[in-house]
Amino acid sequence: MLITKKDFGRTKKGENASLYTLTNKAGMKAVVSDFGAVLVSLFVPDKNGDLKDVVWGYDKVSGYENNGVYLGSTIGRNSNRIGKSKYNLNGKEYTLDKNDGQNNLHGGFDGYNARLWSANTDEINNSVKFMLDSPDMDQGFPGNAKISVTYTLTDDNAIKISYEASADKDTIFNMTNHSYFNLDGESSDSVLEHQVLINADAFTEADAESIPTGKIIDVTDTPMDFRNYRVIGKDIDSDYEPLKFGAGYDHNWVLNKTEGAVAKMRSLNSGITMEVYTDLPGMQLYTGNFLAGEEGKNGKKYARRSAACFETQYFPDAVNHENFQSPIFSAGDKYKTETIYKFTVES
């Protein structure tokens, strides 16, 4: 399929940003930018055959330069939180930006989502590959790193996000995509009626600052049990400490090993179901609890809890917990992972 490219404006640094549009045989479209390697739009057919843009974003590159809520963002080197903004690696303590209270969130202030990446298009595979060089001690992480994120739109209505990276020193790699999804499209102001399924028997307990305690908690008989479809809004404000701490759902689930989807979200209104596939051990479900009044596409102000994120990842603060799978990669080793968001329609 033909991949189109158009201007997306100039950054504050005077860089020219571009938009790339991928289209498949079913008419689905994915729009991505070399600024931040962000997912800008995702047009998916609903039960009536109408295309709905199911991700929140901005009309101009300037929006992504000031993207404090990480709409559509590629996050790196480390997604989610590192407690007290410090970690030890090979006997040395490293300190990071404190951009979430005393903690580090999504790498720090100078995020990968606010940098211009280089781009290569591949019309045979209907994909765009974004590449970034991250120097030694960038954001407080050791090693000169070469990083790539590839978006591929398949003919069975899936957007594949493939990450690859390596560095010349031992370092952390734990990248994710922070898109906010609402399967009813831009006309919707709430995701609370959407239904979610997560193939996970447990979640990682966290404190009031969303830093894991190290404990793994069984979801049985709790509002965190999404092993069968659960309406997001059903228990989101229940008297349950983890939900009070997160002001709603903003937690990491311990994914069951499975060949199929690790999570699903569906809207009975649009008929769209989104399936999530990953090879990573965890996934953060975030229900936009702090998304309030952010002005996005077409001047729309995105309401609190108007969309949900499905952030595949190593567990938050994994570098500081020996019982969590480690996000540390040795010098020269390749970090390679893939997350897929696939869309189907039920009439």
Helix (H) or strand (E) holding 173, with range, is none
Clarify whether 311 is annotated catalytic.
yes
Interatomic CA distance for residues 47 and 150, integer angstroms: 29
CB 128, CB 3: distance < 8 Å: yes
The three-class DSSP label of residue 16 is: strand
Q: What are phi and psi of 107, to 5 degrees?
A: 95, -30
Interatomic CA distance for residues 35 and 58, integer angstroms: 12
> How many distinct helices (H) and strands (E) make up the chain?
2, 29
Contacts of 299 by beta carbon, 8 Å cutoff, 6+ apart:
none
For residue 14, give the nearest of 28, 32, 33, 35 by alpha carbon. 35
Instruction: Out of 186, 275, 294, 311, pick the active-site residue.
Output: 311
Clarify whether 251 is annotated catalytic.
no
Helix (H) or strand (E) holding 243, with range, is helix 241-246
Instruction: Out of 106, 164, 178, 294, pick the active-site residue.
Output: 178
Residue with tokens 């739009």: 41
Strands 29-33 and 38-45: antiparallel
Active site residue ranges: 178, 311
